[in-house]
Amino acid sequence: MWDPLFLVPFIPVFLLALTLHEFGHAWTALQFGDPTAKLQGRVTLDPLKHLDLMGTICMFVLQFGWAKPVPVNPANFKPEQRRQAELWVSLAGIIANLLQAVAYAAVWRVLLLVDPNLLYGSPFLQRFLVLGVLINLALAIFNLLPIYPLDGAHVMKNLLPLRQAIPFDEFSQRYGTMILLALILVGSFSGVSPLQILIGVPRNWLAGMLLPGL
């Protein structure tokens, strides 16, 4: 059962994290000449345009969720810029989450400098800022995993030389979803989640660096 004291700050942080992530993809694609997302109303900060119903339900039930993928048509990119465009479009959502984590941490640090009582005297504010850092770091790290359909697979494909990029992309698109589901199911049945380790360890380390006095 979700604690209301957790749920109240969680909802706006979660909605903003997903919205800015998807907005980052859509806006960056438009800058490189692909209007596909704009034509579908996705270059917006309206969370309702980005939320996936099942992904949102799963986030509240399983603490694991997703938004609607932003449609991107690489054919609209200039041929000489295609790999660069795909790389930055894929990174844009991750960067959006990292910037949000830094912003929440910056507020934390400013409050510590101005008056620590403002921070430590408000459990809600502490929870809100900590969740802002943890959720955004988790989304950034999760999406960096080089497993299709995550952003990290597209990042890896466009960083690799073409000779390696083509077989990696073929393998990733064929088996990536199955690998991702297997990682999720292993955690569900064994109690030891590979994803929690892959995401939680670097997330907690980075959060410890960003949030002094936590």
Q: Which residues are catalytic?
A: 22
End-to-end CA distance of the chain: 25
- Does the bond joining 123 to the residue before it have cis omega, within 30 degrees of 0? no
DSSP state, 67?
B
- Does the bond joining 69 to the residue before it have cis omega, within 30 degrees of 0? no
Q: Cα-flanking dihedrals φ and ψ of residue 67, to 5°?
A: -110, 175
40 three-class SS: coil
DSSP state, 71?
P
For residue 213 the two structure tokens come to 């006095």
Give the integer Cα–Cα distance in Å for 120 and 113: 12
DSSP lists the bridge partners of residue 67 as 51
Residue type, 86: E
Give the integer Cα–Cα distance in Å for 18 and 124: 21
